[in-house]
């Protein structure tokens, strides 16, 4: 079996190896983008899995003056709340590198899902396509804040409001599926045994939201890897 729509599947021994490998890929993609287009526009993922990657990335030789950071999704919580994805990114990466503050484009999710989705879409009007989107995957197969069977997952807008999410907080903002798919490069970071069932379901052809990302690199640690999936190792 293969992971549906994956470009490559790479298995790592543990989260540390995965994080180092992806950090190196980010640095490589960044250098190529800056050489070709003068800027590197990257979308950061939230959740726990990318934390170590971000810590490693701050030691990588990125040209931070020419990096612009965006976010794949955000929780509708007050700005500065420790559970926000931009707070995690600041703590693990952005507060430790010389990136200009004007180059960090947070989702104004504190304004509520509908208004902040409209405002962030306007912010992205002349930005797309992104050079790289980093993605995680939840135990249910969601990515960003695009959850299985949630109506927001089917919306066509650049940025979509999410209501009634099955995880706290229930109100969120997410880049739309089309926006994620339009990125030049997509990389999934998936770690831990709790992700194994969702990966198995994707390999069986079930169209969970993560499986609807086209042409992504999947970096998976050994604990999450279900037997029977073909890899590019």
At residue 125, the pLDDT reads 87
- Find the DSSP H helices in 58-128: 85-92, 113-123
Residue 64 sits at the vertex; the CA angle it makes with 78 and 138, to the nearest 5 degrees, is 50
Q: Report yes or no: 113 and 172 within 8 Å, Cβ to Cβ.
A: yes
The span from the CA of 216 to the CA of 111, in Å, is: 32
Is 173 contained in some domain?
yes
Q: Report yes or no: 101 and 138 within 8 Å, Cβ to Cβ.
A: no
Is 228 contained in some domain?
no
Q: Which residues, other chains included, contact 192 with Cβ-Cβ below 8 Å and sequence gap of 6+?
A: 15, 49, 221, 223, 224
pLDDT in tens, the chain (233 residues): 689 899 999 999 999 999 999 999 999 999 999 999 999 999 999 999 999 999 999 999 999 999 999 999 999 999 999 999 999 999 999 999 999 999 999 999 999 999 999 999 999 989 999 999 999 999 999 999 999 999 999 999 999 999 999 999 999 999 999 999 999 999 999 999 999 999 999 999 999 999 999 999 999 999 999 876 667 65
List, edge to edge, every strand of the sheet that includes 172-175. Answer: 73-75, 172-175, 159-162
Q: What is the CATH number of the domain that holds 136?
A: 3.40.50.1360
Give me the residue label for tokens 């950071």: 69
At residue 229, the pLDDT reads 67
**Structural domain containing residue 73:** 6-221
SS3 track for 136-186: CCCCCCCECCECCCCHHHHCCCCEEEECCCCCCCCCEEEECHHHHHCCCEE
194 φ/ψ angles, rounded to the nearest 5 degrees: -70, -15
Q: How many structural domains comprise the chain?
A: 1
Q: Which residues, other chains included, contact 32 with Cβ-Cβ below 8 Å and sequence gap of 6+?
A: none
Q: Which one-letter DSSP state was computed for residue 28?
A: H
- Extract the tokens encoding 124: 């992205």
Is 232 contained in some domain?
no
At residue 230, the pLDDT reads 64
Rounded to two decimals, what is the model's pTM? Answer: 0.96
At residue 162, the pLDDT reads 98
Nearest to 188 by CA among 179, 199, 201, 178: 199
Give me the residue label for tokens 């899902």: 113
Q: Give Cα 9 distance to the centre of its chain.
A: 16
DSSP SS3 for 215? coil
Is 26 contained in some domain?
yes
């Amino acid at each position: 079996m293969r992971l549906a729509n994956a470009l490559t599947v790479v298995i790592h021994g543990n989260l540390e190896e995965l994080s180092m490998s992806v950090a190196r890929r980010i640095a490589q993609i960044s250098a190529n983008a800056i050489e070709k287009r003068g800027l590197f526009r990257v979308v950061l993922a939230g959740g726990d899995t990318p934390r170590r990657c971000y810590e490693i990335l701050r030691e990588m030789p990125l040209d931070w003056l020419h990096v612009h950071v965006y976010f794949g999704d955000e929780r509708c919580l007050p700005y500065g709340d420790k559970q926000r994805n931009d707070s995690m990114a600041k703590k693990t990466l952005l507060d430790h590198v010389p990136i200009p503050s004007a180059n960090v484009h947070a989702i104004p999710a504190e304004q509520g899902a509908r208004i902040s989705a409209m405002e962030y879409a306007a912010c992205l009007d002349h930005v797309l396509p992104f050079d790289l989107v980093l993605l995680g995957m939840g135990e249910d197969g969601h990515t960003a804040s695009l959850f299985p069977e949630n109506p927001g997952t089917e919306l066509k807008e650049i940025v979509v409001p999410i209501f009634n999410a099955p995880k706290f907080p229930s109100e969120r903002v997410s880049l739309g599926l089309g926006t994620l798919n339009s990125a030049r490069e997509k990389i999934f970071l998936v770690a831990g045994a709790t992700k194994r069932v969702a990966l198995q379901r994707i390999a069986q052809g079930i169209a969970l939201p993560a499986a609807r990302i086209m042409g992504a690199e999947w970096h998976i640690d050994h604990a999450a890897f279900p037997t029977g999936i073909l890899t590019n190792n």
